[in-house]
Amino acid sequence: MNYLSFDIGLSKLTTYDDDKFLGVQIDAIGEEKSGVIPYEVHSPHGFYSRCHDGDDDGSCNVLFAMEGGRGHAWIQSDPRIIPLLPPINKGGAVVYGGKLKAPSFFFIDGDTNSQTFYVPYKVGEDGVAQKAMTIEVNVDNEGEESISIVHGSGAAVIIMESGGEVSTTIKNAAGDAYIEVNDKGITLNGAVTVQGGFNAGGPGGAMPVALGPPLVSVLQQLIGVVAAIVGVGTTGAPAAVLSGQLSAILAQNTKGV
């Protein structure tokens, strides 16, 4: 029986062999700048990772063992990335990867089961990300559970939250234009543009809503016709009332135009 002899080393580089199996070259014992032939990488079932090569700022830790002349390796944590991740409380976990100075990660809170998916991007010359997209499932407080999706630009923010009126909100970056759907109905805030037909109505059935410019044109023509009739003097007060009503409708439909 061959017994494995374990030790800890630092990764110099990783590479694939001809059979597409990943190997890692570690620092040779006592030789910081020298390496040995790549050792075969082993990973837990369902999870596979490849670390960054070593550089002047450090290297990824590697647990390795020798089986006669054959080397085995288990890639461990990278001390260059760990300080950039959120602190883990007891029972929590983080899965990370990506750029050295701008890692992406999936975080599970050990206290509440809340989870965060964090994806940084738009990396500057210093390697640090300037923006990030996030998906957060928050169950920290009972009755106030929420799901939020936030774009790095601040736009297309989607928030689904319980408690109160149980609402789902989609808003712009400034927060002054949004759609909110809750137990009471739907709220639209901000300028609204409708492309195509638009129907509105209650339980009795929806009816098409007249388009602004054509409606205004028709009202203006009707007012002119009624004014001409009133000028003839054959209709009296009813025509004058109708003219006033049409003028009020026209004013309402051109408000803010």
CA 154 and chain centroid, separation: 9
Q: Is residue 163 part of a domain?
A: yes
Bridge partners (DSSP) listed for residue 169: 159, 180
pTM, two decimal places: 0.72
Alpha helices in the chain (DSSP H): 212-232, 237-253
Flag whether 90 is in a domain: yes
Residue 206 falls within a domain, yes or no? no
**Same domain, yes or no, for 109 and 184?**
yes
Q: d(Cα 7, Cα 71) in Å, to the nearest integer?
A: 11
Total number of residues shown for the chain: 257
Asked if residue 194 is part of any domain, the answer here is: no
Residue 203 lies in a domain: no
- Whose CA is closest to 98, among 85, 108, 109, 87? 85
Structural domain count, the chain: 3
Q: Is the CB of residue 87 less than 8 Å from the CB of residue 96? A: no
| 60 and 32 together in one domain | yes
In this structure, are 65 and 89 located in the same domain? no
Residues 133 and 102 in one domain: yes
- Residue where a domain terminates, one of 75, 110, 137: 75
Judgement on whether residues 111 and 32 belong to the same structural domain of the protein: no
Supply the range of the domain harboring residue 248.
Answer: 212-253
Q: State whether the Cα torsion 183-189-195-198 is positive or negative.
A: positive
What tens-digit pLDDT sequence spans the chain (257 residues)? 567 788 999 999 999 999 999 999 998 555 555 557 899 999 999 999 999 999 999 999 999 998 888 899 999 999 999 999 999 999 999 999 999 999 999 999 999 999 999 999 998 889 899 999 999 999 998 888 889 888 888 766 788 888 777 888 888 888 889 999 988 889 999 988 888 777 777 667 777 666 666 666 766 777 777 677 666 555 556 666 666 776 776 676 565 54
DSSP category for residue 184: T
Q: Six-digit token pair at 177?
A: 């234009």
Residue 43 lies in a domain: yes
Please say whether the beta carbons of 25 and 36 come within 8 A.
yes
In a domain, 195, yes or no: no
Q: Say if 50 falls within a structural domain.
A: yes
| 102 alpha carbon, distance to own chain's centre | 17
